[in-house]
Amino acid sequence: MRKKHLTFLDFLWMGREQWPTYPHPLARTFVRWLGPLGVHARIRNAHVLRVVEDLPLPSGAHVLDAGCGRAYASFWLARRHIDWEIWGIDVDAEVVKHNQEVASALGLGNLRFRERDVADVEADIPFDLVFSIDVLEHMENDVGALVNWRQVMSRSGWLVLHLPLRHQRQRRIFRAFKQHVIADHVRDEYTEEEIKDRLAQAGFTLHSITYGFGMCGELAFELNYLFWQLPWLRASVALLTFPLAISLGYVDSWSSPSWGNSLILLARPSTA
């Protein structure tokens, strides 16, 4: 059985540091005390953090969060591992600006952000760890991105990926979610076989593949995202279901489901 590294409060407060970036005062208050209303981002970040925390990374590890977004995982790691040097990169200039402001306000000198294409990374010092959470399905040249990440990693480095399973294979609980798709995905997500092939093409050896968003995680997501077509109603229902959704999401974050709607992959450069 894998070790639990995140407490319930760790999970609940994931993303809480971003409260100043929310424009509405009620939203800022909610996020400051309870973290963001969305549960699904917590689940995928927590699954990646569990894998990362089990890795034999060196003291002073050099870490890349490729396509960091709001960087939930990077903020958590920066607080827990003050000797690590963590870089978050993203193409969204506004997100990068906000992240850097938050990191500076928290005194996290080991965490830095840069606006950059995630498929065009450069590094003076090889990365001991590259992780990426729900990014490759947005990229036309996913193999090219993987090749670039391998080139900036140390030979003994680790790659951790979280990716959605192909939506046609996902198991839904409420019928309405059978029609739920993400408009800016450039492909129908991934099957296990497809991402294994992409990793091999890019020069990686796969070490493990596990699942997230099992029954508990999927139910947490669906409760949290009911009526997604109607944002005002979705937010109201999400507030009502938040206590149950956050609890179910936490259970999913430390469990090891035999099936799930997301894939968590651990790989290393093939020359390692």
Tokens representing 97 are 């600006």
* pLDDT for the residue numbered 17: 95
Domains and CATH numbers, the chain: 8-269 (3.40.50.150)
1 has a pLDDT exceeding 60:
no
**H/E element holding 97?**
helix 93-105
Rounded distance between C-alpha atoms, residue 269 and residue 204, angstroms: 4
Torsion sign over Cα 36, 40, 43, 44:
negative
* pLDDT for the residue numbered 156: 94
Residue 210 identity: T
Calculate the CA 258 to chain-centre distance.
Answer: 20
Looking at per-residue pLDDT, the higher value among 200 and 229 belongs to 200
* pLDDT for the residue numbered 173: 92
141 has a pLDDT exceeding 90:
yes
Instruction: Provide mean pLDDT across the span 226-249.
Output: 92
Instruction: Provide mean pLDDT across the span 159-163.
Output: 98
∠ CA 218-219-225, nearest 5°, is 90
Instruction: Provide mean pLDDT across the span 127-147.
Output: 96
Looking at per-residue pLDDT, the higher value among 256 and 182 belongs to 256
Instruction: Provide mean pLDDT across the span 83-109.
Output: 97
Give percent of the chain with pLDDT exceeding 70: 98
* pLDDT for the residue numbered 272: 53
Residue 240: which residues within 8 A CB-CB, separation 6 or more?
none
Strand partners, 132: 161
* pLDDT for the residue numbered 4: 53
3-state secondary structure 212-255: ECCHHHHHHHHHHCCCCCCHHHHHHHHHHHHHHHHHHHHHHHHC
